[in-house]
Amino acid sequence: MQRNEMSYRMLFVGHPTPMWIYDPESMHILDVNEAAIKLYGYDYEAFKQLNPYDLRPVAGAAGSAPHAHAVSQGTSEATEWIHLRQDGTPINVKIVSHAITFEGHHARLVMATDITLQRRAEERLRLDRQILQQLPVAIIITDLDRQILNWMAASEFVLGFSAEEMVGSPIDSLQSPEFDFEIYRAMWRQLAKNGRVVNSVLVRTKAGEDLSLLTTVSYLRDDQGVPEKIIWVMRDAEERLDMEEERLLTRLLESELTDAIRMSDLRDQLVSMVAHEFKSPLSAIKLYRDIIAKQGHASDKPRVRDALNRIDTQITTLIDLVDDLITLNQASLGKLVPVITSFDLDDLCRRVADHWVGIIGDRHPIVCELPDDVLPIEADMRLIKRVLDNLMSNAVKYSPVGGRVTLLLHLEDDQAVVHVKDEGIGIPEAAKARVFEMFERAENAMHLSGTGVGLAYCRMVVDLHHGAISFNSVPEKGTTFVLRLPLKQPGYTSSDADFEDED
C-alpha cells in the first residue's frame, strides 16, 4: 500500500502534465494534480467542485463532439478544446482521456497539454503567409547548388510557374537567354564575398515574357553562421510597395517565414513537435505501468494484458514517429539511399491490410483488393511498407467508426498503382495545396492527434523511387490517395535472394 501511494504521488500528484480524475457517471472531479491547479488558477477544493464541462466557455465548443465520442468508446484519442482559466482567460489545450480504476470505481483520467502559444504562433504565421502571398514578390529558396527547394505561392503570380513545376529545378532556368551571363557571374562573386547581392536580373516567365526584376540574393546560415541555403527575392522595381507592405515583407524575410524554412528552425520545430507529441504516449506508458504495479502477484490477468497491449501500442507510435523523422532528416541532407530489392508488392499490401485489421478490429471494415497474379517490384520494402502504413493510419484516423477503408492494388502499364480510400472527413480545399508539406495539418483535423509528418514522409519516399503520389478528396465524404511506383528502378539488377521473406 505504501509503495502504491508513493507511485501514485509520483505519477499523478507531482507529474508536470496537468491532470485530473473524474467520475464519468456523476461527472464529479475526484482528484486534481498540482500542475492542473497551476494551469487553471483554481485552488484544490475549488477545482474539485467543478464539472469537467465547466472548463469550456460554451456548450458545443470546438472539440466537444470528438471528445464525447472518444469517451463513449473508452478510447484515449487526443482532442483539442478551448478551456477557460479561473480568471476567464481562454487557453487552447490538447486533451487525452483514459479509463482507469480509482479507489475501486470506474473513473477517467484526463491529461491536458497547454498549446495556446503554439496555436497563436501558427495563426500568426498563417495570416502572414496569406498577406505575403498577395504581394507582387517572388520568394524562392534554393540549396547552395541553386536547385529550387521552396517556391512561395506569390512566385507563381509573378513568374507564372507553379511550385510543382519548379521545385527541384535549377533557378538558372528562369534566366532569359538575353541576360548577360557575365553580370550573373559577377553577382555570384559578390554573394560569396558579402553574403548578399542586389541587382536587376532578366527572367523569362512561363508566358515567354522577359521581365527585369530587382533581385536580392542572400545566404541563409545555420547556427554556426555557415551558409546552408540561398533566398531569392524578385520584384518589379517599378511596382512600389506601400510602407506597411514593405515592413511586412522585411519582417517576414528576417524572421518567421524565412526561419521556418531554414534548417536550423526546422530542427527547432522538430524538437517542439516531438516533445509535444511524446507527452501523451509517455504519460500513458507511465500510467499503465503503475496499473500493472498495483496488481501485484494476485493480478487480474485480463487487465494486465490490456495494459501491456496499450503500452505496446504507445511504444510503437513513438518508434514509428522517430523513424519517420530520422528518415526525413536523412533525405533532406541527401544522405538517404534506398536499399532496393525485388519483392512481391501484392504480398506486402496483404500483410499491411492484415496488420490493420488486427489493430482496429471491427471498428472499420477493411477491404483489400489485389490482382490475381503476383506483382513483383523493385523498391526499398521497408520504406514502401511505412508509406502504406502511414496512408492506412490516416484513413483509419480520419474516418468515423464504421467507415470503410479500402486498399487496392493493380498494374497499369509499367507501374504499380496503389489506392488507399476512406470515407472520412476529407481535406478542405484551402489545405489541398500544402497537404504534403512538413508539419502541415488541415483545420478540420486539428481535434485529432498528429504531427503533419506522415504525408511529407510518403512524398519523400515516392520521389526517391521515381514515382508519384496524388489524391482526390471531398470534405465529409472521404479521400483517396493514389500511389504510382515504377516496377523497375534504374541501375538495379535483381537476384533470387531478394525474394526472401522480410524478417
Domain ranges, ordered by start, for the chain: 1-114, 136-240, 262-333, 337-499
* Topology at the third CATH level for domain 262-333: Helix Hairpins (1.10.287)
Instruction: Give the pLDDT band of residue 451 (cuts 50, 70, 90).
Output: low
8 A C-beta contact, residue 151 and residue 168: no
SS3 230: strand
pLDDT confidence of residue 150: 83
Q: How far apart are CA 473 and CA 428, in angstroms?
A: 8
Quick one: which of 408, 387, 409 has its CA closest to 462?
A: 387
Domain 337-499, CATH class in plain words: alpha beta
Tens-digit pLDDT profile for residues 338-378:
889 999 999 999 999 998 888 887 888 899 999 988 899 99
Is residue 225 within 8 A of residue 193, CB to CB? The reply is no
**CA-closest candidate to residue 73, choices 24, 18, 20:** 24
Note the pLDDT tens digit of each residue in 78-135: 678 899 999 999 999 988 888 888 888 888 889 898 888 878 877 776 766 666 666 6
Q: What is the pLDDT of residue 329?
A: 60
Instruction: Domain 1-114: state its class.
Output: alpha beta
- Give the per-residue pLDDT at 481: 94
Residue 408 is predicted with a pLDDT of 95
Q: Which helix (H) or strand (E) holds 273?
A: helix 263-295
pLDDT value for 495: 54
C-alpha neighbours within 13 Å on the C-beta side of residue 81 = 29
Q: Is the pLDDT of residue 460 over 70?
A: yes
| pLDDT band per the 50, 70, 90 thresholds, residue 419 | very high
The C-alpha cell at 272 is: 517542439
Radius of gyration of the chain (CA): 26
Instruction: Name the percent of the chain lying above pLDDT 70.
Output: 65
Predicted local confidence at residue 17, as pLDDT: 84
Residue with cell 504510382: 484
Per-residue pLDDT at 61 = 41
For residue 321, what pLDDT band results from cuts at 50, 70 and 90?
low
Which of 235-239, 325-329, 450-454 has maximum average pLDDT?
Answer: 235-239
Residue 274: pLDDT band (50, 70, 90) is: low
Q: What is the pLDDT of residues 129-187, one digit of tens each?
A: 666 666 668 888 898 888 998 887 778 888 999 888 888 889 989 989 888 878 888 88
The torsion defined by the Cα of 353, 355, 358 and 361, in degrees rounded to 10, comes to: -40
Is the CB of residue 92 less than 8 Å from the CB of residue 39?
no
Global pTM?
Answer: 0.45
pLDDT of 420 > 80? The answer is yes
Distance, CA of 133 to CA of 223 (rounded, Å):
28
pLDDT for 26? 92
Confidence of residue 475 (pLDDT cuts 50, 70, 90): confident
The pLDDT mean for the chain works out to 76
Let me know: does 292 contact 299? Beta carbons within 8 Å. yes
- pLDDT of 195 > 50? The answer is yes
The C-alpha cell that represents 182 in the structure block:
557575365
Average pLDDT over residues 243-267: 52
Q: How many CA atoms lie within 13 A of 486 on its CB side?
A: 10
Q: Between 34 and 499, whose confidence is greater? A: 34
> Which fold is adopted by the domain 136-240?
Beta-Lactamase (3.30.450)
Give CA–CA dist 116/91, Å, rounded: 6
- Rounded average pLDDT over 469-478: 88
Angle at which helix 454-464 crosses helix 301-332, to 10 degrees, equals 50
Q: Which three cell numbers stand for residue 7?
A: 507511485
Query: Do the first three CATH levels of 1-114 and 262-333 match, i.e. the same topology?
Result: no
Helices and strands (DSSP H and E) totals, the chain = 15, 17
pLDDT: which is higher, 62 or 390 = 390
pLDDT of 33 over the 50 cut: yes
Q: Give the per-residue pLDDT at 221.
A: 80
Instruction: Give the residue from 358, 338, 364, 383 showing the smallest Cα distance to 421.
Output: 364
Candidate from 32-36, 261-265, 331-335, 387-391 with smallest mean pLDDT: 261-265
Residue 502 binned pLDDT confidence (cut-offs 50, 70, 90): very low
Instruction: Give the pLDDT of residue 325.
Output: 63
Q: What is the pLDDT of residue 71?
A: 40
pLDDT > 50? residue 447: no
pLDDT digits (tens, 9 = 90+) for 39-67: 999 999 999 999 888 998 864 444 443 34
Question: What integer pLDDT is reported at residue 305 of this predicted model?
Answer: 67
